[in-house]
């Protein structure tokens, strides 16, 4: 074992995520579509990308939330949507340069590989990694038809004016309908985290396609990718806000503007020593939730799109050690099969929960393999 940035590793037992490569045939070579973000190496395509996944703050939204929270907080927690609802009040200012750099599904650097994980979605977005398959789009349309006698949804402002100050018996349902429609509809929702992660992967593939010309509008929550980058690249983020008792992690970035960096792509390439692999080590998580974040699976998202989730390629981001990743056998014949793969019971598996202060390392063969891979692709340097 060797530390990712060099040095002498401590004597300890290593812990990896499966599948790891056991032979040359098992080695999973990084896909060339997810190239390093270096501006000198990356092909520039004539694509204008518009990020529409993070809605603007709705006027009086926090006021309505504060009125309903005392009565319905226990219901939100039972449904595992409490954190996601509270996260909606934070105003995350867009860092266009950083989002543009981070819209590759998986980033390859001279010093390693990184991507957004289900743990990131859970901590930064407040989304649950658990859940059952539910089609809520039909319910939303029926709610609009019931109140307005039409299938065309009303504006958000009209909806709030109708229900916010009323004594209607369905005002809580109306609140949830607005929250869901503004952030998720029209979608097929299963677990919030796998859905959002899948949509990010899908839109990343779409925006990076060499066949795309003109303007591409992305509806995935790429503001979470921006927060992911801010959490890890300390030299590229504004000074975070202090978190008060009861506030969520996203409160660190509420209303903060971006830093002025001359070339974000070049800066990211050379911050390996400053990269925070596991910034939320102290955040408490149940064993079942942690297991979902660490297990390779299929994610089902918008319009039943299916994307691979491969945390074994970035094991250090969940506090474990990194070996050469092996192939993950696809289970994507249908959305139902893919969801069954993600939602399969966690049995006959051992889960190691690393101590909070232990630093993850990489195997010697991974270090050599990654260096050779980067050199072969022209993205690395001799002696790094």
Least confident range from 32-46, 58-72, 223-237: namely: 32-46
In a domain, 367, yes or no: yes
- Domain extent for 272: 24-54+92-135+188-376
Is it the case that residue 28 has pLDDT exceeding 80? no
pTM of the model: 0.80
What pLDDT does 267 receive?
73
Give the pLDDT confidence of 275-294 residue by residue, as tens digits. Answer: 889 998 888 778 788 888 99
Band of residue 66 on the pLDDT scale cut at 50, 70, 90: very high
Give the pLDDT confidence of 86-97 residue by residue, as tens digits. Answer: 999 999 887 766
Q: Is 42 left (phi over 0), alpha (psi -120 to 50) or beta?
A: beta
- Which has more pLDDT, 339 or 40? 339
The structural domain count of the chain equals 1
What pLDDT does 284 receive?
74
Phi, psi of 315 (to 5 degrees): -60, -30
In a domain, 198, yes or no: yes
What pLDDT does 363 receive?
92
Q: Distance between CA 309 and CA 341 in Å, rounded?
A: 11
Give the pLDDT confidence of 143-161 residue by residue, as tens digits. Answer: 555 555 555 667 788 888 8
In a domain, 38, yes or no: yes
In a domain, 182, yes or no: no
Q: Distance between CA 51 and CA 218 in Å, rounded?
A: 5
In a domain, 384, yes or no: no
Q: Buried b / exposed e across 8-47, counting CB within 10 Å, b at 16+?
A: eeeeeeebbbebbbeeeeebbebeeebbbbbeeeeeeeee
In a domain, 272, yes or no: yes
In a domain, 167, yes or no: no
What pLDDT does 325 receive?
92
Q: Any alpha helices (H) in the chain, and if so which ranges?
A: 61-78, 82-87, 96-101, 118-125, 137-148, 156-163, 171-183, 192-208, 222-232, 264-269, 287-294, 335-342, 364-376
């Amino acid at each position: 074992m060797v530390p990712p940035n060099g040095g002498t590793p401590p004597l300890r037992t290593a812990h990896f995520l499966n599948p790891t490569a056991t032979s040359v045939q098992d080695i999973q070579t990084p896909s060339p579509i997810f190239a390093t973000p270096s501006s000198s190496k990356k092909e520039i395509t004539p694509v204008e990308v518009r990020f529409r996944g993070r809605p603007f703050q709705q006027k009086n939204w926090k006021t309505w939330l504060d009125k309903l929270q005392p009565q319905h907080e226990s219901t939100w927690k039972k449904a595992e949507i409490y954190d996601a609802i509270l996260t909606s009040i934070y105003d995350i200012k867009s860092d266009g340069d950083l989002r543009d750099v981070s819209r590759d599904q998986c980033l390859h650097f001279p010093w390693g590989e990184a991507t957004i994980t289900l743990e990131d979605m859970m901590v930064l977005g407040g989304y649950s990694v658990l859940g059952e398959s539910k089609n809520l789009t039909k319910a939303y349309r029926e709610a609009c038809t019931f109140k307005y006698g039409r299938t065309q949804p009303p504006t958000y402002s009209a909806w709030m004016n109708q229900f916010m100050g009323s004594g209607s018996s369905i005002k809580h349902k109306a609140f949830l309908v607005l929250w869901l429609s503004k952030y998720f509809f029209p979608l097929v929702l299963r677990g919030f985290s796998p859905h959002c992660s899948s949509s990010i992967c899908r839109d990343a593939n779409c925006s990076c396609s060499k066949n795309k010309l003109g303007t591409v509008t992305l509806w995935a929550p790429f503001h979470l990718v921006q927060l992911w980058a801010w959490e890890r690249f300390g030299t590229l983020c504004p000074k975070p806000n202090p978190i008060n008792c009861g506030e969520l992690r996203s409160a660190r970035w509420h209303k903060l503007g971006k830093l002025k960096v001359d070339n974000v792509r070049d800066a990211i390439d050379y911050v390996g020593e400053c990269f925070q692999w596991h910034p939320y080590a102290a955040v408490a998580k149940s064993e079942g939730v942690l297991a979902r974040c660490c297990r390779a699976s299929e994610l089902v998202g918008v319009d039943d799109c299916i994307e691979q989730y491969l945390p074994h390629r970035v094991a250090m981001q969940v506090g474990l050690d990194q070996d050469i990743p092996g192939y993950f056998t696809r289970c994507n014949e249908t959305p139902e099969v893919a969801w069954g793969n993600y939602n399969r019971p966690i049995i006959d598996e051992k889960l190691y929960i690393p101590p909070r202060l232990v630093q993850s390392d990489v195997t010697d063969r991974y270090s050599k393999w990654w260096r050779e891979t980067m050199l072969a692709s022209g993205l690395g340097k001799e002696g790094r």
